[in-house]
Amino acid sequence: MSWIRTIDAATVEGPEVLGAKAHGLALMHRLGLPVPPAVVVVVEACREYLRGGKFPDGLRDELADAVAGLGARRVSVRSGAAVSMPGMMDTILALEPTEEAVEAAVAAVFDSWNAPRARTYRDLNALPHDLGTAVIVQAMVFGDRDDRSGTGIAFSRDPNTGAPEPYGDVLFGHQGEDVVSGRTRTLPLQALAERKPGVWDGLVAALHRIEDHYRDACYTEFTFESGELWLLQTRPGRFTGAAAVRLAVDLAEEGAITRHEALLRVSPGHVKLARTPRIAGDHEVIGRGIGACPGVASGRIATTVEEAIRMAPDGPVILMRPETSPHDMSGLAVAAGIVTERGGPASHAAVVARAMGKPAVVGVTGLDAAQGELVTIDGTSGVVVRGLAPAVADAAADHLERLLAWADDASGDRTPRGEAERLAAAREALRR
Q: Are 294 and 240 in contact (CB under 8 A)?
A: no
Candidates 7-15, 121-129, 137-145, 174-182; binding stretch for another protein (CB under 8 A): 121-129
Is residue 116 close enough to count as binding another protein by CB under 8 A?
yes
- In angstroms, the CA 73 to CA 95 distance is 8
Candidates 115-123, 146-154, 369-377, 414-422; binding stretch for another protein (CB under 8 A): 115-123
**Beta carbon of residue 414, minimum distance to another protein (angstroms, whole number):** 27
Q: How many residues belong to the chain?
A: 432
Q: Choose between 121 and 178: whose C-beta lies nearer to another protein.
A: 121
Is residue 325 close enough to count as binding another protein by CB under 8 A?
yes
Is residue 215 close enough to count as binding another protein by CB under 8 A?
no
Is residue 275 close enough to count as binding another protein by CB under 8 A?
no
Q: Which of 216, 328, 378, 419 binds another protein (CB under 8 A)?
A: 328
Is residue 269 close enough to count as binding another protein by CB under 8 A?
yes
Instruction: Select from 111, 134, 131, 143 the least CA-distant residue to 36.
Output: 143
* φ, ψ (nearest 5 deg) of residue 346: -110, 15
Is residue 161 close enough to count as binding another protein by CB under 8 A?
no
Is residue 268 close enough to count as binding another protein by CB under 8 A?
no
Is residue 329 close enough to count as binding another protein by CB under 8 A?
yes
* b/e code 136-156 from CB counts within 10 Å (16+ = b): bbbbbbbbbbeebbbbbbbbb
Q: Which of 111, 323, 341, 373 binds another protein (CB under 8 A)?
A: 323
Is residue 304 close enough to count as binding another protein by CB under 8 A?
no
Q: Are 361 and 386 in contact (CB under 8 A)?
A: no
Taking CA atoms, 100 is separated from 63, 95, 389, in Å, by 10, 11, 56
Is residue 126 close enough to count as binding another protein by CB under 8 A?
yes
Q: Choose between 261 and 373: whose C-beta lies nearer to another protein.
A: 261
**Beta carbon of residue 418, minimum distance to another protein (angstroms, whole number):** 15
Instruction: Select from 196, 224, 61, 75 the least CA-distant residue to 135.
Output: 75
Is residue 246 close enough to count as binding another protein by CB under 8 A?
no
Is residue 157 close enough to count as binding another protein by CB under 8 A?
no
Neighbour-count burial of 134, counting CB atoms closer than 10 A to its CB (0-12 exposed, 13-18 middle, 19+ buried):
buried
For another protein (CB under 8 A), the number of binding residues is 34
- In angstroms, the CA 160 to CA 158 distance is 5
- In angstroms, the CA 14 to CA 29 distance is 15
Candidates 58-66, 148-156, 349-357, 390-398; binding stretch for another protein (CB under 8 A): 349-357
Q: Which of 2, 98, 114, 120 binds another protein (CB under 8 A)?
A: 120
Q: How many helices (DSSP H) and strands (DSSP E) are in the chain? A: 17, 20
Is residue 124 close enough to count as binding another protein by CB under 8 A?
yes
Is residue 346 close enough to count as binding another protein by CB under 8 A?
yes
Which residues pair with residue 291 across a beta bridge?
Answer: 361
Is residue 79 close enough to count as binding another protein by CB under 8 A?
no
Q: Which of 117, 129, 208, 414 binds another protein (CB under 8 A)?
A: 117
Q: Which one-letter amino acid corresponds to residue 418?
A: G
CA atoms within 13 A on the CB side of 332: 25
Q: Choose between 189 and 360: whose C-beta lies nearer to another protein.
A: 360
Candidates 64-72, 107-115, 205-213, 325-333; binding stretch for another protein (CB under 8 A): 325-333
Taking CA atoms, 212 is separated from 113, 137, 145, 257, in Å, by 33, 28, 32, 10
Spacing of C-alpha 187 from chain mean position: 16
Q: Which of 70, 154, 273, 364 binds another protein (CB under 8 A)?
A: 273
- List residues binding another protein (CB under 8 A): 84, 116-117, 120-121, 123-126, 238, 240, 267, 269, 273, 305, 309, 313, 323, 325-330, 345-348, 350-352, 354-356
